[in-house]
Amino acid sequence: MSEAKKIVIPCSGIGKAFGTVSREATYQLTETGHQEEYRTVCLPLLVAGNQDAIDLLKKSKVYTIDGCPKKCATLSVERTGIDVTMEVMIPKVLAKNTDHKPGTVRDIGPNGVFLAKDIVNIILEEGSD
């Protein structure tokens, strides 16, 4: 498998339904049908300054999925000196389709899965080459 040139960084959002949605969207991109093009890097590796993770991001397009206005994923990438190619803010995506409100952090339910798919579609349509 060739090295992906697009890296998706989801927010951590531990204990938050939007954090689970961000990770679900990342899994959909990196494990279901788009794995040749997209990979992910663990956000804590960036926060910890892991040079291998930073080097990978330097030679890739970077897409962040943030679950709240704190923008932890985006800001963590930017703190490494790397520009974010595209940032997706989950509340803005949900505002366009309120029927896709996720359930709980443990079970985002079908609506949360649909919200994750909305995010995937935005990245594929608006963030493509």
Q: Which helix (H) or strand (E) holds 53?
A: helix 51-58
Q: What is the mean pLDDT of residues 9-33?
A: 91
Q: What pLDDT does residue 101 have?
A: 95
Write down the domain spans for the chain.
6-124
Contact 9, 67 (CB under 8 A): no
Domain 6-124 belongs to what architecture?
Answer: 3-Layer(aba) Sandwich (3.40)
Using DSSP's 3-state secondary structure scheme, residue 65 falls into: strand
Residue 11 predicted with pLDDT over 80: yes
- Predicted local confidence at residue 3, as pLDDT: 63
For the chain, the helix, strand and coil percentages under 3-state DSSP, each to the nearest 5 = 50, 15, 35
Beta-bridge partners for 39: 7
Task: Retrieve residue 59's tokens.
Answer: 């030679």
pLDDT digits (tens, 9 = 90+) for 83-128: 999 999 999 999 999 999 999 999 999 999 999 999 999 999 987 7
Burial class of residue 55 in the structure, from the number of CB atoms within 10 Å of its CB (0-12 exposed, 13-18 middle, 19+ buried): exposed
Q: What percentage of the chain exceeds 90 in pLDDT?
A: 80
* Chain centroid to CA 88: 7
**How high does pLDDT run on average in the chain?**
92
What is the C-alpha to C-alpha distance for residues 114 and 120, in angstroms, rounded to an integer?
10
